[in-house]
Amino acid sequence: MPGGKRLINFSAGPCQLPIEVLEDVQKEIADYNGWGISVLEMSHRGSHFKKVLTEATETALKFLEVPQTHSLLFMSGGATGQFAAQALNFINAEHPVADYAVTGYWSKYAMVEGSMFGKTRAVTNAADMGFLEIDPIDSWDLSNKPAYIHYCDNETIEGMEFPSPPPLKLHRPECLVIADMASNLGTKPVEWGNIDLAYAGAQKNIGVAGVTVVVLNRAPQSFNPIKRVCCSLTHSCDAAGCSRPHGDAMPLSAELQENTGCKSDAVYGQCDHSEGFFVAPVKPTFRSRVTVRFAIAANETAVQQEIQDRRKQDASEAPLDGSGAYTPEYTKQDHLAIEEARAKDNQLTKQFLEIAEKHDMICLEFQEQYSVV
């Protein structure tokens, strides 16, 4: 580690991991659980790895409160792989169109990816309101018999989150409802009765990059006869899966559960009571609890230069232009690192670090398009 200390990690993901988790991994990387073999080299069809997989699955089921009506799977490919898998699995001759609620970058990306395998359409588009709020579901232009309705529960870049699951089953009872929960799965209770398939990359709140968590309704659904590697239903019937996800990712999942939480209200309060220095533009009802979007109203060259200079000294992976930001709060930040940074004299940077210290912020990524000047 440079200078013998850990850097403050402002990456958008993978998130910063608790040092306790890293130390446990270091101890067991060569000899996992006293079995005389590393988890990195276990056969994915052997008894040792099946035990790891079973324990991880049972822990995740309990943590996420998944009912017996649903299966929990560990898959490969990340959320991007799921964008394609949904269309491959569910768009067919009987249901040739898939509906998407476009509320930000990631839901639009999912719709574009799905369009490579079938017809997709936007039933609502938050761009019309500057990504500051979401249209009420009664105004969504839903298809009569869509293959599925897809929505992103938390848009990281736009800093918008559905305050509660959209009641899509009331409008289309027979339709599949698919939720991208990549950045907020594990941060709140989920009403699984309203969701047929949810997916999330583990690297935000549950583990590390390399494994994707998929929660799938067990009820039989029609799907195309595609390659097994993309088929959620095939994985649901085969505990070992077709190809092994990143094995080292799964033992970490349980240890990260207690590090998730909702810490954003006070951050928004800091912005709202900063006498105009910070601005949180998203309408309060749709403000994300996980990724706080804010901007610096005082967008002056001197302000930006001071922040840029400080970021070069105290943080890693922090692209900055001074006009807008979002701050994902995935896991617990290292308070010692923040205290050391705060001890220095730059008054403007202290304002940022005070927020980070109080609320364990992990990621600070500035986006030019959100300038409020």
pLDDT digits (tens, 9 = 90+) for 305-334: 656 665 566 555 444 444 455 555 554 444
pLDDT computed for residue 258 by the predictor: 39
The predicted model gives 205-227 an average pLDDT of 72
What is the spatial distance between Cα 334 and Cα 169, in angstroms, rounded to a whole number?
42
Question: Is the pLDDT assigned to residue 73 strictly greater than 50?
Answer: yes
Question: Is the pLDDT assigned to residue 370 strictly greater than 70?
Answer: no
| Long-range contact set of residues 174-177: C-beta below 8 Å, sequence gap at least 24 | 174/145, 175/145, 175/146, 175/148, 175/149, 176/90, 176/147, 176/148, 176/149, 176/221, 177/148, 177/149, 177/151
DSSP bridge partners of 97: 119
The predicted model gives 275-299 an average pLDDT of 80
DSSP bridge partners of 295: 279
Kindly tell me the sign of the dihedral angle through the C-alpha atoms of 122, 127, 129, 133.
positive
Q: Between residues 59 and 355, which one has the greater pLDDT?
A: 59
Q: What's the Cα-to-Cα distance from 116 to each of 6, 120, 142, 256, rounded to whole Å? A: 43, 9, 20, 35
Average pLDDT, the chain: 74
The predicted model gives 123-140 an average pLDDT of 94
Q: What's the Cα-to-Cα distance from 283 to each of 158, 201, 265, 365, rounded to whole Å? A: 11, 27, 13, 20
Residue at token pair 């309203």: 194
Q: Under a CB-based contact definition with an 8 Å cutoff, are residues 64 and 185 in contact?
A: yes
pLDDT computed for residue 142 by the predictor: 96
Six token digits for residue 142: 């839903």
**Domains and their CATH numbers in the chain:** 12-331 (3.40.640.10)
Rounded to 5 degrees, φ, ψ at 225 are -75, 85
Angle at 245 between CA 192 and CA 45, to 5 degrees: 105
pLDDT computed for residue 320 by the predictor: 42
Question: Is the pLDDT assigned to residue 102 strictly greater than 50?
Answer: yes
pLDDT tens-place string over residues 75-86: 888 888 999 999
pLDDT tens-place string over residues 3-44: 567 776 656 667 777 788 888 888 888 888 888 988 888 888
pLDDT computed for residue 121 by the predictor: 97
Assign 220 a pLDDT band (cuts: 50, 70, 90).
low
**Which of 35-44, 105-114, 206-215, 333-342 is the least confident region?**
333-342
pLDDT computed for residue 16 by the predictor: 75
Q: Between residues 186 and 127, which one has the greater pLDDT?
A: 127
